[in-house]
C-alpha cells in the first residue's frame, strides 16, 4: 500500500483500464486531476474548444476501435452540463464513454456555491451510472466499477463527479494488485438457438437484420459466416452498416423511411421471417409497427433483456451478447448443414440480388449548382474500401446512406438515435485520435458543420488530419423538406449576402475562410469538372500539413431526398433508374414506389433566384 492523493490513484486506475487518450477542458475544480495526469500519467490529452465537443470526441474514439473507451474531462458546473448531449448520444447508441467532472467541495454542495450543480441528478437519465464520490477512499473503486458497468451488458456511458476536496485527499492504495473487473455478458443457450433456427428453416423468405450490437461485439465475421451457411440475405441497420460488405451477394440493402435502399425496402416487404441480432427496431428503420410486422414472424436477439418486447413482442426473444449468440448459431447451422437439414435458399437469395442490381437511384447529374447525388457518386469512385465515413444527421447523412458504400465494420461511424447537430466534426477528430492510419471522411451539411466548427482548431493544434466533405445548400435541408407538410419554408434558410466574401454569393458563411482562420485547409467545388482535382488536392494538403481539410461542395438550394412515412410508401423525388422495368410496378407485397417532383419552397425570403427549381 502507498499513500497518494485520490486523483493520483484515479490516474493509475485509468491507465490500468486501458485509457491512453483524454479529451477535455481544464478548470479550477478539475485541476487536481490534471496535475496528477501531468505528474504521474502517460495519458495523452487533447484540448477541446467546447466541452460538448470533447464529449463527442470521446464518443468517436470509442466507436472507432473495438474495446476503446473514450475519456472526457471537465470542470464543475457548465462543463458537466455541456457533456449531457454527448452522454445522450452515447447511451442512445450503446457506446461506452467515461465523463469525469470536477465539483465544488463537499461542504458547499448544497450552498449554491460557484459552478456547483447536481450533475449526478442531471446526468442520471442519459447514463448507465452517474455518481458523485463523497469519500476519497472510494475514488479508485468507483472508477473500477465504472469500467465494469460500461463494459457489461449493453454498453453505455458513465459520469463520475469528483468534489475538489475529494480529489486532493490522501488515501492508501495499492495499484500493483489492482485488476479490472470481468464484464458480464448474457449468452444464448443451445436450446434457444436451435428453436430460432427451426423457425427460420420453416419459413420461405427469411432475412437477417444485423444491428449495431454485432459491430459492438466485434462479431461481423461470424454474421457473414452464418449468412453464407444459411444462404439467407442480410439487412443491416444504419448502426450495423458495414457488418457485411455492401458488395456481398447476400447484402440485401438497408430498410427504412429515410436511410434505406429501394431494393432493401422491397426485399423486406417480400420476406416472411426476420432474425434480428443486436438491433433495436428503431422507428426510422421500421416505420409503423403494423406495416413492418404484418405477415412476418420475428426472432429478436439482444444483449439487453428489456429491449426484447420494448417496440413489439417477437415470436421468440433471446437475451444474449451478439458474438456469443452468433458463435452458437454458426455451430448449430454447421451441424445442420452437414446433416442436410437446412432449406435451400438459393432462389430467394437470387431474387433479392436481382432487385439489388436493378432497383437503383440515379446519381449522375452534370448540372451547376451541383446535385448532392453526384457528390456521393464521386465519393464512391474516389474513396476505397477501407475508408471510414463519419456523419450524424440531416439530408447529408440520409443521402449518404442511400448512395455511399461501406465494406467493413466501424467504417460507418454514425450518431444514430440522438443525432445532434455538430457531432460529426469532433467525432471525426476522436476517430483520428484512435486510429492514425485509416482514411477518414466526415460528411456534413452546412448547418451540422457550423454547430461546432471551432473544433477544427483542435485538429490543427493536435495534428489530427481528416477530410471533411461539406455539402452546402445554405439550408436546414431536412427541416425544410419536412416543412413541406405544413406548406411553409420558415426560418430554415441560412443564406445571406456575405459582404466579406462576395464569391460565396448568397450562400452565407464562407466556410473556406473560417476553416483557414482556424488553422486548417479548405477547397470550394462548384462544378462536376472540378471533382477529381479537388479530391487530389485535398489529399495532398492533408499529407503535407497534417491538419483537417474541408472540401465544400456548393449544391443547388433545393433537392428533396427520397423518404416516406412507411417502408411501403417511400417517395422518390428524383428520376430513378430501373434496369428491369417490371420492378417499378406495385406488386403483391404492397410496395409502392412513387416519383414526385421536388417542388420549390413556398417562401424564400432570401435569394429566390438562387434556387434551381
pLDDT recorded at residue 590: 38
- 3-state helix/strand/coil string of 290-305: HHHHCCCEEEEEECCH
Residue 134's Cβ-count burial label (10 Å; 0-12, 13-18, 19+) is middle
Clarify whether 122 is annotated catalytic: no
DSSP string for residues in 86-141 = HHHHHHHTT--EEEEEEE--GGGTTTT-TT---HHHHHGGGSSEEEE--SGGGHHH
The answer to whether residues 261 and 254 touch, using CB atoms and an 8 Å cutoff, is: yes
Of the candidates 421, 458, 467, 554, the residue annotated as catalytic is: 421
pLDDT recorded at residue 584: 60
Question: Average pLDDT of 448-454?
Answer: 95
Has residue 573 got a pLDDT over 90?
no
| C-alpha–C-alpha distance, residues 521 and 544, integer Å | 11
In this structure, which topology does domain 190-357 adopt according to CATH?
A: Rossmann fold (3.40.50)
Tens digit of each residue's pLDDT (9 = 90 or more) over 179-206: 999 999 999 999 999 999 999 999 999 9
pLDDT recorded at residue 244: 97
| C-alpha–C-alpha distance, residues 163 and 323, integer Å | 39
pLDDT recorded at residue 365: 87
- Comparing 386-395, 405-414, 596-605, which segment has the lowest mean pLDDT? 596-605
Measured in whole angstroms, how far is the alpha carbon of residue 342 from the centre of its chain?
35
Has residue 605 got a pLDDT over 50?
no
Q: Do domains 2-177 and 366-554 have the same CATH topology?
A: yes
SS3 140: helix
DSSP strand pairing (359-361 vs 576-578): antiparallel
Measured in whole angstroms, how far is the alpha carbon of residue 522 from the centre of its chain?
25
**For the chain, what percent of residues have pLDDT higher than 90?**
79
| C-alpha–C-alpha distance, residues 46 and 25, integer Å | 9
What are the residue boundaries of the structural domains of the chain, listed by start? 2-177, 190-357, 366-554, 563-610
What letter would DSSP give residue 125?
Answer: G
Tens digit of each residue's pLDDT (9 = 90 or more) over 216-261: 999 999 999 999 999 999 999 999 999 999 999 999 999 999 999 9
| C-alpha–C-alpha distance, residues 332 and 26, integer Å | 53
pLDDT recorded at residue 176: 93
Clarify whether 162 is annotated catalytic: no
Tens digit of each residue's pLDDT (9 = 90 or more) over 502-528: 877 778 899 999 999 999 999 999 999
Of the candidates 11, 33, 51, 404, the residue annotated as catalytic is: 51
Tens digit of each residue's pLDDT (9 = 90 or more) over 351-366: 999 999 988 898 888 8
Phi, psi of 99 (to 5 degrees): -105, 125
**Residue 288: pLDDT band with limits 50, 70, 90:** very high
pLDDT recorded at residue 610: 33
Phi, psi of 22 (to 5 degrees): -130, 145
Has residue 207 got a pLDDT over 90?
yes
Tens digit of each residue's pLDDT (9 = 90 or more) over 321-344: 999 999 999 999 999 999 999 999
* DSSP bridge partners of 507: 496
Q: Mean pLDDT for the chain?
A: 91
The answer to whether residues 207 and 234 touch, using CB atoms and an 8 Å cutoff, is: yes
**Residue 41: pLDDT band with limits 50, 70, 90:** confident
pLDDT recorded at residue 586: 42
pLDDT recorded at residue 494: 83
Secondary-structure class of domain 2-177 per CATH: alpha beta
Question: Average pLDDT of 297-316?
Answer: 96
Angle 259-378-221 from CA coordinates, rounded to 5°? 55
Cell of 19: 485509457
Sheet (strand 97-103) strand order: 44-47, 21-24, 70-74, 97-103, 158-163, 129-132
Cell of 442: 466526415
Of the candidates 21, 122, 175, 479, the residue annotated as catalytic is: 479
Angle 501-424-260 from CA coordinates, rounded to 5°? 110
pLDDT recorded at residue 1: 73
Angle 121-125-129 from CA coordinates, rounded to 5°? 75
Rounded alpha-carbon distances, angstroms, from residue 193 to 9, 198, 220: 45, 8, 18
Of the candidates 11, 25, 551, 555, the residue annotated as catalytic is: 25
- 341-366 burial, b for 16+ CB within 10 Å, e for fewer? ebbebeebbebbbebbebbbbebebe
* DSSP bridge partners of 572: 595
Tens digit of each residue's pLDDT (9 = 90 or more) over 91-109: 999 999 999 999 999 888 7
pTM over 0.85: yes
**Residue 601: pLDDT band with limits 50, 70, 90:** very low
Clarify whether 51 is annotated catalytic: yes
pLDDT recorded at residue 600: 40
Sheet (strand 521-525) strand order: 412-414, 388-391, 440-445, 467-472, 549-554, 521-525
- 236-271 burial, b for 16+ CB within 10 Å, e for fewer? bbbbbbbbbbbeebbbbbbbbbbbbbbbbbbbbbbb
**Residue 499: pLDDT band with limits 50, 70, 90:** confident
Question: Average pLDDT of 579-597?
Answer: 51
Has residue 611 got a pLDDT over 50?
no
Residue carrying the nine cell digits 460488405: 245
Superfamily grouping for domain 366-554: Thiamin diphosphate (ThDP)-binding fold, Pyr/PP domains (3.40.50.970)
Amino acid at each position: 500500500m502507498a499513500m497518494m492523493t485520490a486523483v493520483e490513484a484515479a490516474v493509475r486506475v485509468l491507465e490500468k483500464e486501458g485509457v491512453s487518450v483524454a479529451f477535455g477542458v481544464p478548470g479550477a475544480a478539475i485541476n487536481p486531476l490534471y496535475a496528477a495526469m501531468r505528474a504521474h500519467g502517460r495519458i495523452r490529452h487533447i484540448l477541446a474548444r467546447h466541452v460538448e465537443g470533447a464529449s463527442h470526441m470521446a464518443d468517436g474514439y470509442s466507436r472507432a476501435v473495438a474495446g476503446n473507451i473514450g475519456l472526457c474531462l471537465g470542470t464543475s458546473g457548465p462543463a458537466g452540463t455541456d457533456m449531457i448531449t454527448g452522454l445522450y448520444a452515447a447511451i442512445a447508441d450503446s457506446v461506452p464513454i467515461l465523463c469525469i467532472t470536477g465539483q465544488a467541495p463537499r461542504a458547499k454542495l448544497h450552498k449554491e456555491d460557484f459552478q456547483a450543480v447536481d450533475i449526478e441528478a442531471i446526468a442520471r437519465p442519459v447514463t448507465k451510472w452517474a455518481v458523485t464520490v463523497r469519500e476519497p477512499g472510494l475514488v479508485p473503486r468507483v472508477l473500477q466499477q465504472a469500467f465494469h458497468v460500461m463494459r457489461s451488458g449493453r454498453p453505455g456511458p458513465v459520469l463520475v463527479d469528483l468534489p475538489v476536496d475529494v480529489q486532493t485527499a490522501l488515501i492508501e492504495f495499492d495499484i500493483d494488485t489492482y485488476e479490472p473487473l470481468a464484464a458480464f455478458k448474457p449468452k444464448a443457450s443451445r436450446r434457444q438457438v436451435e428453436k430460432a433456427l427451426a423457425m427460420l428453416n420453416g419459413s420461405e423468405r427469411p432475412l437477417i437484420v444485423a444491428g449495431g450490437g454485432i459491430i459492438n461485439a466485434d462479431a461481423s465475421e461470424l454474421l457473414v459466416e452464418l449468412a453464407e451457411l444459411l444462404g439467407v440475405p442480410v439487412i443491416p441497420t444504419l448502426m450495423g452498416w458495414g457488418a457485411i460488405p455492401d458488395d456481398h451477394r447476400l447484402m440485401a440493402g438497408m430498410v427504412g423511411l429515410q436511410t434505406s435502399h429501394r431494393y432493401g425496402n422491397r426485399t423486406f416487404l417480400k420476406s416472411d421471417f426476420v432474425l434480428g441480432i443486436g438491433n433495436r427496431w428503431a422507428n426510422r428503420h421500421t416505420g409503423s409497427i403494423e406495416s413492418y410486422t404484418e405477415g412476418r414472424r420475428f426472432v429478436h436477439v439482444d444483449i439487453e433483456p428489456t429491449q426484447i418486447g420494448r417496440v413489439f413482442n417477437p415470436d421468440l426473444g433471446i437475451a444474449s451478447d451478439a458474438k456469443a449468440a452468433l458463435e452458437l448459431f454458426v455451430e448449430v447451422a454447421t451441424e445442420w448443414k452437414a446433416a442436410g437439414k437446412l432449406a435451400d435458399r438459393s432462389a430467394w437469395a437470387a431474387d433479392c440480388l436481382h432487385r439489388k442490381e436493378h432497383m437503383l437511384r440515379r446519381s449522375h447529374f452534370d448540372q451547376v449548382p451541383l446535385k448532392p447525388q453526384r457528390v456521393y457518386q464521386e465519393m464512391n469512385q474516389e474513396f476505397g474500401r477501407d475508408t471510414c465515413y463519419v456523419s450524424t444527421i440531416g439530408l447529408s447523412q440520409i443521402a449518404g446512406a442511400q448512395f455511399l458504400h461501406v465494406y467493413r465494420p466501424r467504417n460507418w461511424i454514425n450518431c444514430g438515435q440522438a443525432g445532434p447537430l455538430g457531432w460529426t466534426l469532433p467525432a471525426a477528430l476522436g476517430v483520428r485520435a484512435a486510429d492514425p492510419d485509416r482514411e477518414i471522411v466526415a460528411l456534413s451539411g452546412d448547418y451540422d458543420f457550423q454547430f461546432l466548427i471551432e473544433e477544427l482548431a483542435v485538429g490543427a493544434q493536435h495534428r489530427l488530419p481528416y477530410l471533411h466533405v461539406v455539402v452546402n445548400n445554405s439550408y436546414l435541408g431536412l427541416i425544410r423538406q419536412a416543412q413541406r407538410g405544413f406548406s411553409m419554408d420558415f426560418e430554415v434558410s441560412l443564406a445571406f449576402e456575405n459582404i466579406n466574401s462576395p464569391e460565396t454569393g448568397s450562400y452565407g458563411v464562407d466556410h473556406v475562410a473560417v476553416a483557414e482562420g482556424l488553422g486548417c485547409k479548405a477547397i470550394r467545388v462548384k462544378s462536376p469538372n472540378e471533382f477529381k482535382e479537388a479530391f487530389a488536392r485535398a489529399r495532398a494538403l492533408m499529407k503535407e500539413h497534417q491538419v483537417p481539410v474541408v472540401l465544400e461542395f456548393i449544391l443547388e438550394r433545393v433537392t428533396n431526398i427520397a423518404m416516406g412515412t412507411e417502408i411501403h410508401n417511400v417517395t422518390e423525388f428524383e428520376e430513378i433508374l430501373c434496369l428491369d422495368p417490371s420492378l417499378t410496378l406495385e406488386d403483391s407485397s404492397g410496395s409502392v414506389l412513387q416519383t414526385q417532383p421536388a417542388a420549390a419552397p413556398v417562401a424564400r425570403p432570401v435569394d429566390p433566384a438562387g434556387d434551381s427549381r
